[in-house]
């Protein structure tokens, strides 16, 4: 199965032996996880662990190519694991149908962050840094994609927070903004190649080769693709002298307020400040009167905060970070969608 890999110039048996001992954790079996797992399934790895708490949805089949209509409603992790076993019955394949937890990274050589969620990426980044494990990161939205490799314990350390210093919530989603299905495949294929490059390259404390046999990973480099023109660009990434991890999100679940309760608060004394964390394009379709963007919120504003997004998911992530920083923040339950469905006005 790995004979074509071994035939690569400079690879040989040393590369396939290194892959055979590799233990890889893949977080997310969706649009990015599907192509990653497809290529890793035939890579001759020793163990693959798949973590995903979600189930297969028919609306995602165009880009989540591991799945079929018969899989709709089944746990992604379990279906994905079955597909991998069908390709390589010798490999140890573990399915964890649950949300990512930091302890998942233990006993793995490389982690793949294919969840495409800033909140999950922050958790993966912190866990991998604590364990000294490199992780491969990718993201896609619309026609745009990015791939990089982070390793906080490398000789020249670089991590996700060096690329995105601020602990911002997810902006946009494939459901709202769309995504080109083939872009997921292209980015996912590059991510899978980063895994094999890491495993078949120098690894501290292991018997891995002392040079890169399957290409050099994108450590300290960010590869960006614009699928409108299929232009790939590379940007260097270095750790600055003031680099530091952002304040972690609070573990507590933010309180929620209903649209009707918010309307009453806005009409009374001591109204809260509304922070709309949606994208500029989303806000252009209408906002709740008086809303401000996160950048416009003053650090010393003493008013309580109500966080607004499309449905509540991004607002929850933003509110957790705000609570950790000492703010009084609650989430508009159901987001602007629920606000409109109850007949409350918006402005443009």
Ramachandran angles phi, psi of 85, nearest 5°? -60, -35
Question: Could you count the other beta carbons within 10 Å of the beta carbon of residue 242?
Answer: 6
Q: Is beta strand 92-96 parallel, antiparallel or unpaired with respect to 110-113?
A: unpaired
CA–CA separation, 314 and 307 (whole Å): 9
**Contact 64/34 with Cβ under 8 angstroms?**
yes
Confirm whether 309 is a catalytic residue.
no
DSSP letter for 295, please.
G
Neighbouring residues of 200: CB distance < 8 A, sequence distance ≥ 6? 11, 14, 15, 18, 19, 208, 209, 212, 213, 214
Measured at the alpha carbon of residue 31, what is the angle toward residues 28 and 37, in degrees to the nearest 5?
60
Q: Is beta strand 144-150 parallel, antiparallel or unpaired with respect to 221-226?
A: antiparallel
Residue 44, burial from CB neighbour count under 10 angstroms (0-12, 13-18, 19+): buried
**Contact 151/197 with Cβ under 8 angstroms?**
no
Catalytic residue selected from 128, 174, 184, 309: 174
Q: Active-site residue numbers?
A: 174
């Amino acid at each position: 199965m790995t004979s074509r890999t071994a035939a690569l110039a400079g690879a040989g048996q040393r590369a396939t032996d290194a892959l055979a001992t590799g233990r890889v954790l893949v977080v997310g079996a969706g649009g990015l996880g599907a192509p990653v797992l497809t290529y890793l399934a035939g890579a001759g790895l020793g163990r693959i662990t798949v973590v995903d708490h979600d189930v297969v949805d028919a609306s995602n089949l165009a880009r989540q190519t591991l799945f079929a209509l018969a899989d709709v409603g089944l746990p992604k992790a379990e279906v994905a694991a079955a597909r991998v076993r069908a390709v390589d019955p010798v490999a140890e394949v573990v399915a964890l149908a649950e949300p990512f937890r930091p302890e998942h990274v233990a006993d793995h050589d490389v982690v793949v962050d294919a969840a495409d969620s800033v909140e999950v990426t922050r958790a993966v980044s912190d866990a991998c840094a604590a364990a000294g494990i490199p992780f491969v990161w990718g993201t896609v939205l619309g026609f745009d994609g990015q791939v990089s490799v982070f390793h906080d314990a490398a000789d020249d350390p670089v991590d996700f927070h060096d690329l995105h210093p601020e602990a911002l919530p997810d902006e946009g989603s494939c459901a709202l903004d769309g995504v080109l299905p083939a872009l997921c495949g292209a980015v996912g294929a590059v991510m899978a190649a980063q895994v094999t490059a890491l495993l078949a390259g120098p690894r501290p404390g292991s018997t891995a080769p002392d040079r890169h046999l399957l290409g050099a990973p994108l450590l300290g480099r960010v590869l960006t693709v614009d699928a409108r023109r299929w232009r790939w660009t590379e940007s260097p990434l270095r750790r600055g002298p003031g680099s530091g991890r952002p304040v972690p999100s609070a573990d507590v679940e933010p309180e929620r307020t209903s649209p009707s309760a918010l309307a009453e608060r806005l009409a009374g004394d001591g109204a809260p400040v509304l922070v709309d964390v949606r994208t500029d394009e989303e806000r252009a379709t209408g906002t709740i009167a008086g809303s401000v963007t996160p950048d416009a919120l003053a650090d010393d504003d003493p008013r309580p905060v109500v966080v607004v997004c499309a449905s509540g998911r991004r607002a929850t992530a933003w509110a957790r970070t705000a609570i950790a920083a000492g703010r009084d923040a609650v989430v508009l339950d159901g987001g602007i969608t629920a606000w409109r469905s109850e007949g409350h006005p918006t402005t443009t």
